[in-house]
Amino acid sequence: MFEERLHSIRERIAEAAIRTGRRPEDVRLLAVTKGVGMDAIREAMDLGQTLFGENYVQEAVAREKAMGGYFRRLTWHFIGHLQTNKARRACELFDCIETVDCRRLLDAICRAATPGFPVYVQVNLGREPQKAGILPEDLRRFVEETAGLSQVRIAGLMAIPPYSEDPESTRGFFRRLRELRDELNETLMKGRQISELSMGMSHDFEVAIEEGATIVRVGTALFGPRNAR
């Protein structure tokens, strides 16, 4: 059952990529495992899934304990809200922090990370007060001010656009994130290009891919509804 869901999502990812003239291998599936049992993670791993996302540092700590050496064979992205005082632990456990949303957090990551540690900047595209993220109009200055930091590398942008039942109405937000990345890349120095766009979830990842997503974060469509795991 899980196997079928995983195959079907991989297929839909490939089709969405091809529809817009992209290569399927340029879009990565990040399996969001918040609240998911270890069995499901092992099953995903056995089926070749290597990229996983967690929202809580504590949950990753538990995963590492449960998985032993296998934890390190997988790639883990942090996709939740990170408190500054957990940055050090997060840098040990995760291969990338996708949700950098303020300078204070970025500085904490710099103090903890190994040189070149990849981070993404979270952008609050819908300007929603309850959501984290740098406002679109502040993004350029935020990125420019990181130019001197050698410990981190801004490798991507990440966003959670306002929810809508109809994925088509989210398309404009996805497009905006791509435009923001492209605008930054046009003016950034060579060698500091931002390539990744982490956007799209279970109900709208195809539209996100059509608009340029390089990583889609999928939970429910893989593992079922959160209250039923």
- Closer to ligand PLP by CB, 34 or 140: give it: 34
- Supply φ then ψ for residue 219, to 5 degrees: -115, -75
- Could you tell me the smallest distance in angstroms from the CB atom of residue 116 to ligand PLP? 24
- Closer to ligand PLP by CB, 53 or 212: give it: 53
Beta-ladder partners of 155:
none
- Could you tell me the smallest distance in angstroms from the CB atom of residue 198 to ligand PLP? 8
Contact 33, 75 (CB under 8 A): no
- Could you tell me the smallest distance in angstroms from the CB atom of residue 79 to ligand PLP? 4
Beta-ladder partners of 51:
75
Tokens describing residue 102: 């303020």
- Closer to ligand PLP by CB, 36 or 113: give it: 36
- Could you tell me the smallest distance in angstroms from the CB atom of residue 94 to ligand PLP? 14
- Site residues for ligand PLP per CB under 6 A: 32, 34, 55, 79, 160, 201-202, 217-221
Cα separation, 60 vs 129, whole angstroms? 28
Q: Which residues make Cβ contacts (< 8 Å) with residue 89, sequence separation at least 6?
A: 57, 61
- Closer to ligand PLP by CB, 192 or 203: give it: 203
